[in-house]
Structure 1
Amino acid sequence: MTDGSAAGVPRQDDVPPLDPRSLRGLAHPLRVRLLGALREFGPATASALAGRLGESSGATSYHLRQLAAYGFVVDDPGRGTGRERWWRAAHRGSRVDSVTEFMRHPDPEVRGAINTLLYAQAVAHSEELGTWLGTMGEWPEQWQEAFDVSDYTLHLTPLLARELGERLHALVDSYRDRLPEAEAADAARVRVHVHAFPRHAD
């Protein structure tokens, strides 16, 4: 799940919910990365995605076709020439309305798929943060001062935790259209990760 996606936090507009079938179709680490790249960076070929992700073009081509079979990506016929096939994401994001529903599903494949998807998302977040930390010195000082890595411990009920998540996502969404045209040259893609989970006291 990427841009616009959130486990357990319902979203609107171009972010359809996953069902058991689509969940099984997405639950592969490379497919998660492919879909994330298309959503963040726009249309691309299997070869271009292979170069970006450090995979073989055969692997990216196969998994793009699988993503297409489940409705996550579509052809972008307006790009490329000849045999060059371009792909684009079909939606801005995906969402899971109820992780519990999938974790308690009678089909073990569905239960395994939600675990695969969540772990793949966690790994992707870790890699993105690691890349930023490794390249932070290459960015202007303003960006080095603007980045944030924070964590908090709160005592909440499940209801309050859900409310917190919904308010955080609403706040992030409120920044989507705030960029003044005059400042566009100073803008960059900014990744915002949100993780909220309970921990035992011991």
Structure 2
Amino acid sequence: MPRSEIRLTDPRALRGYAHPLRMALIGLLRREGPLTATQAAERLDESVPNCSYHLRQLAKYGLAERSEGADARERPWQATALNTSWDDLSDDPEARAAANHLNAMVLDHYVARARAHLAQRAYEPADWRAVLGFGDALVHVTSAELAELTRRIEALLAEYDERMTDPSTRPEGSRAIGLIQLLVPIEPPTESAPPSGSDSAPPSESGSAGEPGR
């Protein structure tokens, strides 16, 4: 069974994960895996050689692995963890730049998913339209309070973790839903913000991208 989380710290691994197809493959493996490269290619509308190559790259960085006991002719792949996390707290400029690039890729992925939902929202049943969509809330908190709030939210989400790995626990009518977390300050920091395009990164990001997602 995949472990709960894998944490990326090496700049090479951060850059290696920052690829749309690789994040899509990891998300697919977490939702539906184990899968062969052929099965993944069919679901993502990609070529088999392309998926095979990127799955091997994911394995290189510890994000995917061959499934045990599978057919030796084309053994399936599985994600090594249910979540991927990383941070931008390193003093190494290379690591910060790599984390910033990965954060930007994840944000692009989130926006694409939101736009895809809007494009098909009219075809959703009324009961799902009532609960799907976007929203936000404004809270005034310290950094410690925000960390505690995030911990409490993650504890609530953890109650559904079993359904990720054991389909038999999913109630009839359930669907895979992405809950996207964006912790974004309304006002700029008290210190002068760096110019646009610098290598500074947003707060630490975790997820299952692809379901970078979480």
- Fold match by TM threshold 0.5: yes
Mapped pair 1:35 → 2:29: no
Q: If each structure's helix is expressed as a fraction of its own residues, which one has the higher value?
A: 1
After superposition, residues 156-175 of structure 1 pair within 5 angstroms as 156-175=141-160
From the superposition, tell whether residues 112 and 60 of structure 1 become closer, same or farther in structure 2 (CA, over 3 Å): farther
Work out the CA distance in 2 between the residues paired with 1:35 and 1:162: 27
Cα deviation code 1:21-79 (max 9, x no counterpart): 54344233332222122112222222333343344333222111111122211112544
Which of these residues, 55, 68, 76, is aligned with residue 59 of structure 2? 68
Structure of higher RCO (CA pairs closer than 8 Å, 6+ residues apart): 2
* Conserved? CA contact 2:25–2:40, under 8 Å: yes
Structure 1 gap segments, 5+ residues each: 1-12
Q: Tell me, what secondary structure is at the counterpart of 2:83?
A: coil
Q: Tell me, what secondary structure is at the counterpart of 1:184?
A: coil
Taking structure 2 as the reference length, what is the TM-score of the superposition?
0.71
Mapped pair 1:44 → 2:29: no
Which of these residues, 109, 118, 128, is aligned with residue 133 of structure 1? 118
Mapped pair 1:199 → 2:186: yes
Cα root mean square deviation, aligned = 2.7
Mapped pair 1:89 → 2:79: yes
Q: If each structure's strand is expressed as a fraction of its own residues, which one has the higher value?
A: 2
Amino acid at match of 1:46: A
Name 1:100's counterpart in structure 2. Answer: 89
Cα deviation code 1:3-35 (max 9, x no counterpart): xxxxxxxxxx62132222543442333322221
Work out the CA distance in 1 between the residues paired with 2:16 and 2:23: 10
Mapped pair 1:187 → 2:174: yes
Work out the CA distance in 1 between the residues paired with 2:60 and 2:170: 40
Deviation at 1:170, TM superposition (A): 1.6
Work out the CA distance in 1 between the residues paired with 2:69 and 2:169: 30
Structure 2 gap segments, 5+ residues each: 189-214
Amino acid at match of 1:76: S
Mapped pair 1:151 → 2:136: yes
Taking structure 1 as the reference length, what is the TM-score of the superposition?
0.75
Which range moves more in the overlay, 46-55 or 114-123? 46-55
* Conserved? CA contact 1:46–1:61, under 8 Å: yes
Q: Tell me, what secondary structure is at the counterpart of 1:118?
A: helix
Name 2:5's counterpart in structure 1. Answer: 15
Q: Percent identity?
A: 31
Which range moves more in the overlay, 20-29 or 164-173? 20-29
Work out the CA distance in 1 between the residues paired with 2:170 and 2:5: 28
Work out the CA distance in 1 between the residues paired with 2:184 and 2:162: 29
From the superposition, tell whether residues 177 and 61 of structure 1 become closer, same or farther in structure 2 (CA, over 3 Å): closer
* Conserved? CA contact 1:32–1:120, under 8 Å: no
